[in-house]
Amino acid sequence: MSASWLKRHISSLWLSGVFAFFYLPLLFLVVFSFNSTRQDSVFTGFSLRWYQALWNDSRLVEGFSLSLNVALMSATLGTVLATLAAFALVRFGNFRGRTLFNAMLSSPLVMPEVIIGLSLLLLFVGIERMFGWPQRGTFTIVLGHALLGMAYASVVIQSRLKEMDRSVEEAALDLGCRPFQVFFLVTLPNMTQALLAAWLLTFTLSFDDVVISEFLAGPGVTTLPQVIFNYARRGVNPSIYAAASLLMLAVSLAVVIYGIQIARQSRKTGMQPED
Amino acid sequence: MPAMTKVSGFFSHMFLRHGRSLVLTVPWFWLLLFFAVPFFILLRISVTDMGEGLNPFAPLVTSDNGELSLHLKLSNYVSLLHDSDTGWLQTLYTESYLLSLKYALWTTLLCLFFGYPFAYFLARSKPSVRPLLLLMVMLPFWTSFLLRVYAWKGLLTDQGIINHLLIFLGITAEPVQMLYNDVSMLLGMTYVYLPFMVLPLYANLVKLDQRLLEASQDLGATPWETFWLVTVPLSRSGIVAGSMLVFIPCLGEFVIPSLLGGAENLMIGRVVWDEMFSSNNWPRASALAIAMIVGVVMPLAWYNQRVTRRAEQELSA
């Protein structure tokens, strides 16, 4: 290996090295989910027993359905709120309190999750003492996740709103549309991709979150990541590897389908896909 | 259907008159309730004593025969810094703060070291493969962060694959302890946060004006000099943004120390949790959180904003 060889190939070497680092743990999870024993150092033989164990583990299954519900609700709530906030920031010019509004909106991006969890917990406990409601549980987790997701979603939606061509909306207004018709018939359809991306991002954040859920979950309410976190602290459990592999399969499928869709769309219109 | 038109007419009328304030009011209300109010509750609890009986914290204002008195205690903040046994600045809290800062700093440096060249080469790769490579960076990000951390636990054990490999290659004779110490902590944190460094850097580097690099070369700079004197300074806002996205979440990291850290890798996130749920000391947990916000998060956010704004000004100038 001469120096010039290294110089020529340093870029692909570095790229593949880091990619190997990224994918090594994923490969490990998939391979050992098919292991026939509890071992996590030697592959002793192929079996599907951990998938079966996963299926029969009621805590994991219930956690999964709770997480799915929480993620669906918080993604929807977070995206709706983020759309309103992004609209206000991009379209309303310098309204009163804009700086404070913007700072509060984007703060969760730079706040350690432990602090978000703690401060929301104190809020919910305070409200519960005053009004006897809400109990800590699914509802409080949804609110917490929506707050976090809204911050990320509004970044995505704002950037789309900024680059959008306003002349189409103006044309609709000139042709006699009412402002709210313009919003629902012109503005929203023009940003579906960004809304979808924002919703997916919020969904993933919620589906993945441990810390905020740990703070805001009540007794008897455990999301999938919380169940996994509790198992993981106790030691090796290949059921979790199986869960991880299924999750990866789902994500990869979604990405492939999305990719095909985009490719087909761009072929149909002969244009570059929006990124 | 006259009723329908009436209803929709009512809505459009409402929207025309109040649409703008409606769009503003909902997020304002939401942010005030779920962001501003919790912050003030945190602040308020941090300056009171622990309560008596079932009360987790003492009241801030009491009235005694119509006489109002304010109980403002800074003892929680003092106790963060002072311990009667060990003296000033030698408490569990200062130690875990310093440890958290140390891990966050090292992780940021490691992410920068591996991430900068990675993002640079990514931005210089063929435009046709770039979307695929970017997707490959994002893909692990879409699969559970918890599971990816958990996988390292299996990889790093004494009988794990990495130790097997090291022994097979003859690098060591005995398994190296890699789990539950600095190695696993830094590895786990670098692994999780590397994409957060790569993506803003990539976004910055891909926009870099190639002509500037050519000009630098024409003027006699070596590629190495061009890199350090042109590319790096121009990507400063990307470096700052990426470092911020790595440093701050690392500082409050809760999951990675719980899974990959040992008893002595006590980071501040864990301490806040323990104060809240094990010691039930709400005032101290709040004081810890406030100290973290005021001491670290706010200055960093301010610095980040300043750098971004300056970069925008330079771009538009």
User: What are the tens digits of pLDDT across the range A227-247?
Assistant: 989 888 887 788 888 988 998
User: Average of pLDDT values for A195-208?
Assistant: 90
H/E stretch holding B75: helix B75-81
| Predicted model pTM | 0.86
- Over range B48-69, report the average pLDDT: 70
Say whether B1 sits in a helix, a strand or coil.
coil
B157·A40 Cβ contact <8 A: yes
pLDDT tens-digit readout, A240-266: 889 889 988 888 888 888 778 877 777
User: Which structure tokens are listed for B254?
Assistant: 């809760």
Contacting residues for A136 by C-beta, under 8 A, at least 6 apart: A121, A124, A128, A216, A217, A218, A221
How far is A13 from chain B, CA to nearest CA, in Å? Answer: 10
Contact flag B121-A28 (C-beta cutoff 8 Å)? no
The verdict on A20 touching B (C-beta cutoff 8 Å) is no
B168-223 per-position pLDDT tens digit:
888 888 888 888 888 899 999 999 999 999 999 999 998 888 888 889 888 988 88
* Percentage of chain B exceeding pLDDT 90: 19
Domains of chain B, by residue range, sit at 2-76, 86-316
- Percentage, residues of chain A above pLDDT 70: 96
- Per-window interface: A 79-98 vs B, CB < 8 A: 81, 84-85, 87-88, 92, 95, 97
Task: Give the distance from residue B27's alpha carbon to the nearest chain A alpha carbon, in angstroms.
Answer: 6
A263 touches chain B (CB under 8 A): no
First to last CA, chain B: 59
pLDDT of A273 higher than 60: no
Please measure the distance between the N-terminal and C-terminal CA atoms of chain A and give it in whole angstroms: 40
The reply to whether A48 touches chain B by the CB within 8 Å rule is no
Region B295-313 average pLDDT: 81
**Closest approach of chain B CAs to the CA of A175, in angstroms?**
16
pLDDT tens, residue by residue, B230-271: 888 888 888 998 998 899 889 989 999 988 988 888 898 889
Question: Mean pLDDT over residues B131-152, rounded?
Answer: 85
Q: How far apart are CA A127 and CA A214, in angstroms?
A: 19
Report the C-alpha gap between B129 and B30 in whole angstroms. 42
Considering CB atoms only, which of A12, A28, A119 is closest to B41?
A: A119
Closest-CA distance, A88 to chain B, in angstroms, reads 6
Per domain, the residue ranges of chain A are 60-237
Out of A15, A113, A118, name the one closest to residue B285 (CB).
A118
More confident of the two residues A237 and B225: B225
What's the pLDDT band for A18 if we cut at 50, 70, 90? very high
Q: What is the pLDDT of residues A204-231, one digit of tens each?
A: 889 989 999 999 988 888 899 999 898 8
Closest listed residue to residue B251, CA positions, set B266, B268, B274:
B268
Amino acid in the structure at residue B207: K
pLDDT tops 90 at residue A190? no
Burial of A161 (0-12, 13-18, 19+ CB in 10 A): buried
Query: Which CATH number describes the domain made up of A60-237?
Result: 1.10.3720.10
Q: What confidence tens digit (pLDDT) does each residue in A37-82 have?
A: 877 777 778 888 888 888 888 888 899 999 999 999 999 999 999 9
Residue B111 has a pLDDT of 96
Beta bridge partners of B69: B62
What is the 3-state secondary structure of B243-283? Answer: HHHHHHHHHCCCHHHHHHCCCCCCCHHHHHHHHHHCCCCHH
Which superfamily is assigned to B86-316 in CATH? MetI-like (1.10.3720.10)
Query: Is B165 within 8 Å of A48 (Cβ atoms)?
Result: no
Which residues in B lie closer than 8 A to residue A18 (C-beta atoms)?
114-115, 118, 194
